[in-house]
Amino acid sequence: MPWPLRVSALFLAGWLPLVAVAQRHPVSSEHPRLLGTRAELQTLARERAEDYRRVAAVARQPRVEALAAVVSQALVAAIEGDRALARQAIERVLPLIDGPIRAGHATFGHDLAQCALAYDLCFDAWTEAERARFHVYFNRTVDANLRSETHVFHNGWYGYKNWGIGLAGYACYHENPRAPAILAALERDYRERAAPALELAGAGGGWAEGYYLHYWLHEWLWFCEVARRCEGVDYLALAPRFFSTRAVASMFEMYPGFGDYRSRRPVPMGDGGGRTFGGDRDKALAARRILVNRYRDDPAHQAVHAFNERTPRSAVGNLAYLDFLWRDPSVPRGDLAGFRRSHLSPGPGHVYARSSWDEEATYFFFKCSDRFTAHQHLDAGHFNLYRRTELAGDGGHYDGFGSPHDVNYHLRTIAHSTLLIHDPAERWPGIRAGRVTGNDGGQHHAWPHHNGGVADPAEWERERARHDISDLPAFADHGDHLYVAADATRAYAPAKLRHFTRQIVYLRPETFVIFDRVVATRPEFRKTWLLQAMKQPERRGDDLVITNGDGRLFVQTLLPARADLRLATGADLYRYDGQAFPPEKLTGPAPECRVEISPTVPAEEDLFLHVLTTADAATPAVPRGRVTVRGTRVQLELGGWQLEFRTDALGGEIRQGERRVPFPSDLPSAAAETTSSLR
């Protein structure tokens, strides 16, 4: 039994003490209580006067989005005793209470949260009849959604459902007889299914869905803070391998530099991707702040706090309440400049690295994930590169869940910087209930249903053969260079592929060496190395140069020695297998060229060796690499470095002058312990 399931079972059997309930206490009957007492909120308003001033300004604006308006109005009403403003907040939520009950894949949790905050913060301004109507609405919504959004790997652990249920439960805890039982059911489900899922798929703070964690985790953390305040229940303590490192992983998931309104753009992962400006960027910041406040004595979280303080205000003005509630200037600022420059999340198989913590740093993201849920893509072995701007990105557009473009391009391997092996006879099952007609030569997954994943860790373990598809066998960061090894063999159909390993060496500050060994089951199955270029490359001799804004990427193909190069751009970008799959809408900046590199001579085994160097757009040239193949050794000389890769096993070494460093054969001790307990 994997570690999370074993611990969960021991919790339930009563064999292990529960830190999460050690400080449990009765829920106060006083209102307000969700975010603090009236006196505590008034003190907070004095301590964070500027942030509160902005909240008050939003509260008194006539046209503000519903959730921001309700939270702002209810907070100001509670702090200032403004009954008229309290009634405005109540009048905003009464249509939800009296309207139809929403169920299924809908943000009914947001509706509940709005109502709960207005109920608690403005309690005295509600009539008895209105309170009773809220209780009925809450109970009926819960009953209608017992089987809604139950997959704990999906949507960042369906926080947008349970934060609303949880806030509403604590808001009417003493007035609604069903509230305590609803909260107990939520807590039980979290302990039995969600916390083990966070430990399994989220060890190290990453999450295989990627972007959706930015979009929804803040809501769940909000509820966790309310539960800890109201009843002393510590939900975070039940998934420490995720929550204790989540803020660090989130910091690493942000591209360097600032975007619109001084916001930070997250690296695209799976669906969504945060390519355009929106409130999800502020929610990611708020989530990091909540975790920093919780782990404020930890030096790593103090470094995250220093990172957060570079963007001290939410980019969306109406979300000033996020700053007021969660930005705590009293947290000590850590040494961000001296903080480590890479992070490993072994649960989802993510590696993040930077050249420095400057805002113009080179950035690298690599993923080789097992399968957990639908918002993931068929992209084991994919990477992103950034220098002043995005240079190698994530292809396609999320134009709809299960659209022709989505299931034939956007989530498929062909839209990512990894590898294709083309078996003309291969066919794909339905993906997301969409119609799959294209044979891209990519990774294969037998979708069990439209969500493409499993309900909980117990089901994942039962179906391990279907979902345990990749590994990160080794990782090490030595400062001047970083090494990671990945095995994505099982992500492909075994009928066409025997072996695919990828080894990457990041030579700081700007160079990436990517060595791939690929063994097909038949020599005629064409292998294609992919790079998702943000702009169409320029050919300079044997090399490619990609320039995007102020950034530039030099691409050297050193192996195979004889290779075919194809650049798919324009109308050909979304065309393959004799079919075209253009997106129905564009969702923001995306790669404009797909670089395809294939050996000219068919063989069962092929080696790919590429050197990718990031630079400023004005850089005319970079050092060239020279490769030598001797038996089972591939040797590369590059700018004073000598690298050697083995072809009979993962590993090798790197040398510079008299210094020699073998490539590691395993993960760092802490990560290895986590991984061994999960696999």
| Shared domain check, 116 and 263 | yes
**Conformational region of residue 644, where left means phi above 0, alpha means psi within -120 to 50, and beta covers everything else:** beta
> Cα(485)–Cα(506) distance, rounded to whole angstroms?
12
Angle between helices 108-121 and 83-98 (to 10 degrees): 150
Is the pLDDT assigned to residue 405 strictly greater than 90?
yes
**H/E run at residue 67:** helix 66-80
Angle between helices 83-98 and 66-80 (to 10 degrees): 140
Does the residue 100 lie in any domain? yes
Identify the band that residue 158 occupies on the pLDDT scale cut at 50, 70 and 90. confident
Residues paired with residue 567 on neighbouring β-strands, in sequence order:
595
Mean pLDDT, to the nearest integer, of 247-261?
97
Q: With helix as H, strand as E and coil as C, how does 232-263 read?
A: CCCCHHHCHHHHHHHHHHHHHCECCCCCHHHC
Instruction: Write the pLDDT tens digit of every residue in 95-120.
Output: 999 999 999 989 999 999 999 999 99
Identify the band that residue 13 occupies on the pLDDT scale cut at 50, 70 and 90. very low
Does the residue 469 lie in any domain? yes
> Cα(619)–Cα(598) distance, rounded to whole angstroms?
28
Q: Is the peptide bond before 509 cis (omega within 30 degrees of 0)?
A: yes
Mean pLDDT of the chain: 93
Q: What is the layout of strands, in order, in the sheet containing 538-540?
A: 471-477, 481-487, 497-507, 511-520, 605-616, 551-559, 543-548, 538-540
**What confidence score (pLDDT) does residue 502 get?**
98
Identify the band that residue 675 occupies on the pLDDT scale cut at 50, 70 and 90. very low
End residue of a domain, out of 617, 638, 665: 617
Identify the band that residue 431 occupies on the pLDDT scale cut at 50, 70 and 90. confident
Identify the band that residue 678 occupies on the pLDDT scale cut at 50, 70 and 90. very low
> Cα(211)–Cα(376) distance, rounded to whole angstroms?
10
Is the pLDDT assigned to residue 17 strictly greater than 80?
no
**What confidence score (pLDDT) does residue 160 get?**
82
**What confidence score (pLDDT) does residue 3 get?**
31
Mean pLDDT, to the nearest integer, of 332-356?
98
| Shared domain check, 374 and 481 | yes
| Shared domain check, 140 and 26 | yes
Is the pLDDT assigned to residue 18 strictly greater than 50?
no
> Cα(209)–Cα(376) distance, rounded to whole angstroms?
5
Identify the band that residue 209 occupies on the pLDDT scale cut at 50, 70 and 90. confident
CA atoms within 13 A on the CB side of 121: 31
End residue of a domain, out of 292, 326, 360: 326
Residue 461 tokens, joined: 């373990």
CA 476 to chain centre: 22
| Shared domain check, 318 and 389 | no
| Shared domain check, 455 and 319 | no
> Cα(143)–Cα(96) distance, rounded to whole angstroms?
16
| Shared domain check, 278 and 424 | no
Does the residue 113 lie in any domain? yes
Dihedral sign, Cα of residue 276, residue 279, residue 280, residue 284: positive
**Amino acid identity, position 482:** L
Instruction: Write the pLDDT tens digit of every residue in 114-126.
Output: 999 999 999 999 9
| Shared domain check, 394 and 315 | no
> Cα(628)–Cα(351) distance, rounded to whole angstroms?
29
**Conformational region of residue 257, where left means phi above 0, alpha means psi within -120 to 50, and beta covers everything else:** left
**What confidence score (pLDDT) does residue 657 get?**
93
> Cα(280)–Cα(503) distance, rounded to whole angstroms?
33
* Predicted TM-score of the model (pTM): 0.94
**What confidence score (pLDDT) does residue 430 get?**
83
**What confidence score (pLDDT) does residue 509 get?**
98
More reliable by pLDDT, 157 or 483: 483
> Cα(148)–Cα(157) distance, rounded to whole angstroms?
12
The CATH number of whichever domain residue 312 belongs to comes to: 1.50.10.100
Does the residue 351 lie in any domain? no
Largest Cα separation within the chain, whole Å, is 84
H helices within 1-59, ranges in order?
3-13, 19-22, 38-47, 49-59
> Cα(608)–Cα(648) distance, rounded to whole angstroms?
14
More reliable by pLDDT, 66 or 77: 77
Does the residue 596 lie in any domain? yes
Count Cβ atoms below 10 Å from residue 277 Cβ, excluding itself: 15
Does the residue 339 lie in any domain? no
**What confidence score (pLDDT) does residue 451 get?**
66
**H/E run at residue 462:** helix 457-462
End residue of a domain, out of 600, 617, 634: 617
The mean-pLDDT minimum among 139-148, 153-162, 286-295, 545-554 falls in 153-162
Identify the band that residue 273 occupies on the pLDDT scale cut at 50, 70 and 90. confident
**What confidence score (pLDDT) does residue 669 get?**
62
| Shared domain check, 431 and 285 | no
Mean pLDDT, to the nearest integer, of 543-555?
97
| Shared domain check, 484 and 604 | yes
In sequence order, which residues have a C-beta less than 8 Å from that of residue 571 and are 6 or more positions away? Answer: 580
**What confidence score (pLDDT) does residue 59 get?**
97
Does the residue 661 lie in any domain? no
| Shared domain check, 378 and 277 | no
Is the pLDDT assigned to residue 12 strictly greater than 90?
no
**What confidence score (pLDDT) does residue 20 get?**
43
> Cα(16)–Cα(36) distance, rounded to whole angstroms?
31
| Shared domain check, 280 and 373 | no
| Shared domain check, 534 and 420 | yes
In sequence order, which residues have a C-beta less than 8 Å from that of residue 296 and are 6 or more positions away? Answer: 302, 305, 328, 331, 332
Q: Are 253 and 183 in contact (CB under 8 A)?
A: no
Residue range of the domain that includes 574 = 368-617
Mean pLDDT, to the nearest integer, of 59-75?
94
Closest CA to 486 of 383, 358, 341, 373: 383
Instruction: Write the pLDDT tens digit of every residue in 492-542.
Output: 999 999 999 999 999 999 999 999 999 999 999 999 999 999 999 999 988
Q: Are 202 and 241 in contact (CB under 8 A)?
A: yes
The CATH number of whichever domain residue 473 belongs to comes to: 2.70.98.70
Q: With helix as H, strand as E and coil as C, how does 424-455 read?
A: CCCCCCCECCECCCCCCCCCCCCCCCCCCCCC
Does the residue 86 lie in any domain? yes
First to last CA, the chain: 10
CA 75 to chain centre: 31
Percent of the chain's residues with pLDDT above 70: 95
> Cα(138)–Cα(124) distance, rounded to whole angstroms?
19
Is the pLDDT assigned to residue 15 strictly greater than 70?
no
- Work out how many domains the chain is built from and give that number: 2
**H/E run at residue 487:** strand 481-487
> Cα(405)–Cα(398) distance, rounded to whole angstroms?
8
